[in-house]
Copies of this chain bind each other. A is one copy, B any other.
Amino acid sequence: MTQTSPSVTGREKAVDALRELILRGDFPAGARLGEVELATRLGVSRTPVREALTRLAAEGLVELVPNRGARVSKWSVEELKGVFDLRTALEPELTALAVPKAGPDDVEELDRLARRMVEVGSPGAGQDLDALVPLNREFHGRLVTLAGHPALAGALASAVHAPIVLRNFHTYDETSLRRSLAHHAEIVAAVRAGDPEWARAVMTAHIRNARAVMVRAAREQENA
């Protein structure tokens, strides 16, 4: 679902820039997004900014209330559950589809990403939870791209955004984090073995593990 076209128009530039800003966490969830503020920051006028906001609203990244402007989306516990239900319905299937399409280079790259995540994710001196976010995006994104199924991928895209905005890896307890990293490695093994059902099963477990972590974190935050 990444934008691959040249994007010469200001609107596309604004969409990509703003999406990246939000996904990278420059704006906290719930933050107000003033049109003039964004226009200044992105170096364009309000018009392309408005169009970018409507588009990101359609992607689910921002919420748009008439006459009251835009905010970075927030998710209630129930909404978060729903988002992970959606991932559960789609991402294991996409993973299974990706398996027969993965060539040696793809497996190699997935393996590299999984190993790198273990490096920066393991507790200790070198741990860097923020570095985990882009690596994780890349890992899941590669699998989705390999699947070669734009319709499913498009439907999944908005569901993948939610946990990213919530800066997820900081909410993992150590056990769940290790489990999650192990899942990545096991998915690579399944892909290498050419076993779609194995990959599907591990991805399902991976998502349900993440769901448990995120739901617990969101519930705690709601009660605070």
Hey, which bits of chain A sit against chain B, CB under 8 A?
Answer: 5, 8-9, 11-12, 47, 50-51, 54-55, 57-60, 66-67, 79, 82-83, 85-86, 89-90, 93, 149-152, 154-156, 158-159
Q: Are B66 and A9 in contact (CB under 8 A)?
A: yes
Q: Are B82 and A152 in contact (CB under 8 A)?
A: yes
Chain B residues within 8 Å of A150, by CB: 79, 82
Instruction: Give the number of copies in the complex.
Output: 2
Q: Are B159 and A158 in contact (CB under 8 A)?
A: no
State which of B8, B66, B90, B158 has its C-beta within 8 Å of the C-beta of A154: B158
Q: Are B85 and A152 in contact (CB under 8 A)?
A: yes
- Report the minimum CB–CB distance from A50 to chain B (whole Å): 7
Q: Are A12 and B54 in contact (CB under 8 A)?
A: no
Secondary structure call for the A interface:
helix
* Given A9-B66, A155-B155: 7 more A-B contacts, CB < 8 Å: A60-B154, A82-B149, A85-B151, A86-B155, A89-B152, A90-B155, A155-B156
- Report the minimum CB–CB distance from A51 to chain B (whole Å): 5
Chain B residues within 8 Å of A154, by CB: 60, 158
5 CB < 8 A contacts A-B: A11-B66, A47-B47, A51-B51, A86-B152, A155-B158
State which of B55, B79, B90 has its C-beta within 8 Å of the C-beta of A58: B55
Query: Roughly how many angstroms separate A93 CA and B158 CA in the complex, as a whole number?
Result: 19
- Report the minimum CB–CB distance from A57 to chain B (whole Å): 8
- Report the minimum CB–CB distance from A159 to chain B (whole Å): 7
- Report the minimum CB–CB distance from A82 to chain B (whole Å): 3
Q: Are B152 and A67 in contact (CB under 8 A)?
A: no
Chain B residues within 8 Å of A90, by CB: 89, 155
Chain B residues within 8 Å of A51, by CB: 50-51, 54
